[in-house]
Chains A and B, each alone.
Chain A
Amino acid sequence: MVGYIIRRVLWIVPVLFVVSVITFSLMKAAPGGPWSNGKPLSQRAIAQLDHKYGLDKPVIDQYLTWAGNMLRGDMGPSYRYPTRSVNDIVADGVGTTVHLGVMAFLLSVLVGIPLGVVAALRHNGIPDYIATFVSVLGIATPSFVISIFLLVFFSAGLHWFPTHGWRGWERPEAMVLPTIALALFPIAQIARYTRASMLEVTRKDYVRTAHSKGLKERSVVLVHMIRNALIPVVTILGPLLAFLITGSFIIETIFSVPGIGRFYVQSIGQRDYGVIMAMTMMFAVVIAVLNLVVDVLYAYIDPRIHYS
């Protein structure tokens, strides 16, 4: 297992290298450069700026400098905010983004799995219809649409929750809608997979064996079924975690949550290439690590899997 983890970590390196090359090349391929968007600058001003940020050096040198800085944890400057580095920006927002993501993740697991289990046990009963409805809603409605529906009904209409003003635990009521909006799609996916998987497990021979021992229905479900049923569910956790990260861009933008996702979207509009590039790399690293964690978790709940 340790060997497997080490090899997986080592495999992340070339992947990230390729990702960084692609990212960097795309940035260089972009016409105009970072200064062409705001008010027109003189040739001299541009040259000065280029020199200040090292943009007048050969491309390879620029890449090596950039990559070297990234490796040292220096994500470089923001071209829009001369006084702030990307590190500052990330440091400001990362706590909020992680907070929102963790809450949404917990919510989706704590709601999605029981929903799927109950739906399967009461197959074609009322819980099943509720679970199906939630799944359909979550899968068929983009998170920005969900967010807006939530805002229209619960903020503008019923005034139950504020439309914005995230301040963490200082203002819990402002966390409700963003968390639900971000979690709905994962809830739907987890519920759908759990339900399908439970239905399949119900028909397994070993469940019949468990019944033939005279076990209580509850322990057949808890001991014999759920763990087996969750094995395929774990496989979608990786993509869902990636979704939570990219999904937070949208949610943070809509609900004005001061995280790094919102800043990322702003940077797109402002062509702040330094920020986009650095954050893309950071997200790629995070997602690669999360996928690794999910795979290790997978081996933990399925004893048949031995990575070697």
Chain B
Amino acid sequence: MANTTAVLDRGKVATRRSTSLWGDAWRRLIRNRLAVVGGVVVLTFMLLALLGPIVAPFPYQQQNLTELAANDHRPISPFTAPFWLGTDHLGRDLLSRILDGAQISMTVALVVQAVVLIIGLPVGAAAAWYGGRVDTILMRMTDVVYAFPDLLFIILLNVTLRETWFGHAMDGLLLVFVAIGIVAWVGMARLVRGQLLSLKETEFVEAARAIGVSDFKIVTRHLLPNALGPMIVAVTLGIPGAILAEATLAFIGIGAHAPRASWGKLVADGQQFMVSAPHLVLIPAIFVALALLSFTFLGDGLRDALDPKLKGKQ
């Protein structure tokens, strides 16, 4: 276009203060009310999980039989001291059990995403960087994992391996975490691959190569930091998926060995007292829902904050 006026783009003279990418993202995030609420709830749950055993009024497995007997051997209703959330049919304090369950759910959140990153990141990066056969193998692998319904694979893995030492580790939880992670890493690998492939073609990478920066350094110093935003979003939004998967598994009887119970297991156990003691199912269900909601809101907020282009798409 020969006409120079076209160069003068529409709109405003640059008067806004310029800030760093992350500073901008942070301000966009804290302006998003739902995301802030989600973040606060997430932090609270994390804290509860950490301090759970300390602040819990009772050991989670302790059966308070005298009190139970005083209550005609029926689960004690909530909102009375000292059992603020009531007890189950064995006289175990529900609040203490929920605090212990928080530990499981939050560990799921972290361990699964750690597995996802540990496998997905290097595999995706290798596929993008080396291309060719490495890339083909990865893509075929992800095709298979995609074709296999997640939950089926997780169930299968758990059913078959739960009697091994691996299945017994961490009260049976390690197997659950790893199984969920094994299914979920594929998404991360694809994401990293896609991000890096588009970044690989950019000029700053060309420039880095031209001055002889090593492959490893280009990937770690130039490519990954630029792909960080979408990865953070994917990790955050992957967490509710993992919590949901764990809760579902627990519900159908796979996961932590009794007497430990995740929130999903508490819901499943409470189901039989649905009519006589609805608090046993409703209260843990509310915690599950809260955890899922707050991670989802936080993740949506992060996505809007880190990628303004996507704003409004949800």
Chain A in direct contact with chain B (Cβ < 8 angstroms): yes
- Is B214 at the interface (CB under 8 A from chain A)? no
Knowing A19-B144, A31-B164, A196-B313, the reply to whether A287 touches B149 (Cβ < 8 A) is yes
Closest B residue to A246 by beta carbon equals B151
Cβ–Cβ contact B253 & A269, under 8 A: yes
With A26-B161, A29-B160, A144-B267 known to touch, is A288 a contact of B274 (CB < 8 Å)?
Answer: no
CB distance from B99 to the nearest CB of A (A): 19
Interface: B264 (CB within 8 A): yes
Instruction: Assess A140 versus B160: contact at CB under 8 Å? Given A246-B151, A287-B147.
Output: no
A283 touches B160 (CB 8 A): no
A142 to B148, CA, bound (A): 21
With A19-B144, A23-B156 given, is the CB distance from A31 to B163 under 8 Å? yes
Which of chain A's residues 187-209 have a Cβ closer than 8 Å to chain B?
Answer: 192, 196, 199-200
Interface size on B, residues (CB 8 A): 42
Q: Which of these, A142, A152, A276, contacts B248 with CB under 8 Å?
A: A142
A30 touching B268 in the complex, CB below 8 Å, given contacts A15-B144, A18-B144, A148-B274: no
Residues in chain A near residue B101, CB distance under 8 A = none
The answer to whether A141 and B161 touch (CB under 8 A), given A245-B149, A250-B251, A276-B156, is no
A223 sits at the interface (CB 8 A): no
Q: Is the CB of A254 within 8 A of B289?
A: no
Q: Which residues of B contact A11 (CB under 8 A)?
A: 143
Interface string of A2-35 (1 = CB under 8 A from B): 0000000001100110110011001101111000
Within 8 A of B (CB), among A24-49: 26-27, 29-32
B163 x A249 contact (CB < 8 A): no
Q: A140-B289, A142-B264 are in contact. Are A30 and B147 (CB under 8 A)?
A: no
Which chain B residues lie closer than 8 Å to A26 at the CB level?
156-157, 160-161
Q: For chain B residues 229-251, which have a beta carbon within 8 Å of chain A?
A: 240, 244, 247-248, 251
Contact pattern, A 219-258, Cβ under 8 Å of B = 1, otherwise 0: 0000000000000000000000010011001100110000
Chain A residue at minimal CB-CB distance from B250: A144
In residues 261-308 of chain A, which contact B (Cβ within 8 Å)? 265, 268-269, 271, 273, 276, 280, 283-284, 287-288, 291
Report chain A residues within 8 Å CB of B292: 139-142
* Cβ 8 A contact of B285, one of A32, A149, A254: A149
B147–A19 contact, CB under 8 A? yes
A246 B161 Cβ-Cβ under 8 A: no
Question: Shortest beta-carbon distance, A199 to chain B, in Å?
Answer: 7
In the assembled complex, A70 has its CB within 8 A of some CB on chain B:
no
By a CB distance below 8 angstroms, the chain A residues around B169 are none
Q: Looking at the assembled complex, report how far the CB atom of A239 sits from the nearest CB atom of chain B, in whole angstroms.
A: 9
Chain B contacts for A249, CB-based, 8 A: 151, 252
Q: Is B281 an interface residue (CB 8 A)?
A: yes
How many angstroms from the CA of A199 to the CA of B143 in the assembled complex? 32
- CB–CB A250/B159 < 8 A: no
Whether B148 contacts A19 by the Cβ 8 Å rule is: yes
Are B244 and A142 closer than 8 Å at their CB atoms? yes
> How far is the CB of B175 from the nearest CB of chain A, in Å?
12
Q: Assuming A30-B163, A136-B293, what are 4 further A-B pairs, CB within 8 angstroms? A: A139-B292, A140-B296, A145-B267, A276-B156
Interface pairs A-B: 5 shortest CB-CB: A30-B160, A140-B293, A26-B160, A246-B151, A145-B285
A-B pairs with beta carbons under 8 Å apart, 16 shown? A18-B144, A30-B160, A31-B163, A140-B289, A142-B292, A144-B247, A148-B267, A149-B285, A151-B274, A156-B275, A156-B278, A199-B312, A246-B151, A250-B251, A265-B253, A284-B147
